[in-house]
Amino acid sequence: MGGSTTGDSTTSTGTSSTTSDVSASSTTEEECKSDKEICCLPEGEFPPHELLNAFLENYPAEEMPKSHPGVSGFEPVANGHVMEWSDIVAGMELVDVDNGGVIEENIMTGLAASKGAAEEALPPNSTILDIFETPVVIEDLGAQPPCNGVGWAWGSILFEAEDTSIGELVYLYIGFCNGTDMDGGGDVEGFFYSDQAVEICAPIPQ
């Protein structure tokens, strides 16, 4: 699976806190002897994006919504973590036929909007460590281009909280435009994001 990974030292002044929907890994010396300990890494390396991986496992391409009601009613959940719906981009949908339809540029613009919503959920005084985004997936559903299908992309933010724990926020954009869809047709889009972070690694013992 391809994607983009970037380190970052941005500090957040948000107001949300982390939850433990995904079990946090210990960083004690005893548990660090295990090769499976994801949080015992050399300086400059980060644990895997566990929550994103859980969502990708739950929603492979064949499980993603591919109709107007499917997208509008989509409620992605993984490991008990339910993503919120964000309507921060209002008005004409990004994938509207008059805006180019279902193309990579529009999907990436939508993903950036979802990412912005996720960043608002960063705990105060946290530091972004790593960002990963999956490649855009576009499926042609057989209608007249450019309003001929559905596209989506996922992303994830790893961050270090003020207490040295490592948390994760996930975000997603789906854009649908298919004039021949028998369930309603037209276009619809979904901006999804974690409104609460999950703890991936527990605080470093002092």
CA angle 196, 24, 28 (to 5 degrees): 145
- Percent helix, percent strand, percent coil in the chain, to nearest 5: 20, 35, 50
Structure pTM?
Answer: 0.81
From first to last of its 206 residues, the chain has per-residue pLDDT tens of: 344 444 444 444 443 434 433 333 444 455 554 443 678 777 777 889 999 999 999 999 999 999 888 888 899 999 999 998 866 444 578 998 889 999 999 999 999 999 999 999 999 999 999 999 999 999 999 888 888 899 999 999 999 999 989 999 999 999 998 766 545 557 889 999 988 899 998 887 76
Give the pLDDT confidence score for residue 25 in this predicted structure. 41
d(Cα 33, Cα 36) in Å, to the nearest integer?
Answer: 9
Cα 132 versus chain centre, distance: 9
d(Cα 141, Cα 135) in Å, to the nearest integer?
Answer: 19
CA neighbours closer than 13 Å in the CB half-sphere of residue 171: 29
Q: Tokens 């990963």, residue?
A: 132
